[in-house]
Amino acid sequence: MVPVPFIILYLKKLATFLSQRSAWATRIMDLLFERARRKAAPVEEFQWLGLMLFVAVPFPGTGAWTGAIIASVLGMPFWSGLSANFVGVVLAGLLVNLLMNLGLKYAIGTGVLLFIVSTVMWGALRGVKKSLNTK
């Protein structure tokens, strides 16, 4: 969590500064931002909740650093991005701890159950959002 506030606050400023200095840096920053935008699709839809859930999933590339980059790319307010990252990191830690204490057999079953629950939850959130937007 230590670099997260700095990433949220200064990533765009650093990218602008480096882009003015070097074409190579421009290409690197464009690749970084494009990758973050691709990962940010579900996050963009729900902002804080989406970012928190994205960071809470304990898979490679979904941690606090990527969450901070996404918060910066989406232009989320500082405290919103920081708090979503923090809650997500805490939930990911609790989830990994739970899975390690369950043992392999139960961890696999729990992982499958959590995948199903998260898929249903995203669908329900999209349905609620769609119904609120049509009113």
Q: Is 56 a member of any domain?
A: yes
pLDDT at 87 (0 to 100): 92
Q: Quote the CA–CA distance of 117 and 100 in Å, as a whole number.
A: 20
pLDDT in tens, 65-122: 888 988 988 889 999 999 999 999 998 888 888 878 877 778 778 778 877 887 888 7
**In-domain check, residue 110:** no
Average pLDDT over residues 40-69: 83
Establish if 21 belongs to a structural domain.
yes
Structural domain includes residue 122:
no
pTM (two decimals): 0.74
Residue 113 domain-assigned (yes or no): no
Residue 135's pLDDT is 63
Q: What is the pLDDT of residue 100?
A: 81
Residues sharing a CB contact under 8 Å with residue 63, sequence separation 6 or more, in sequence order = 55, 89, 92
- Number of structural domains (the chain) is 1
Domain annotation covers residue 72: yes
Cβ contacts of residue 60 below 8 Å, gap of 6+? none
**For residue 19, what are the domain limits?**
2-88
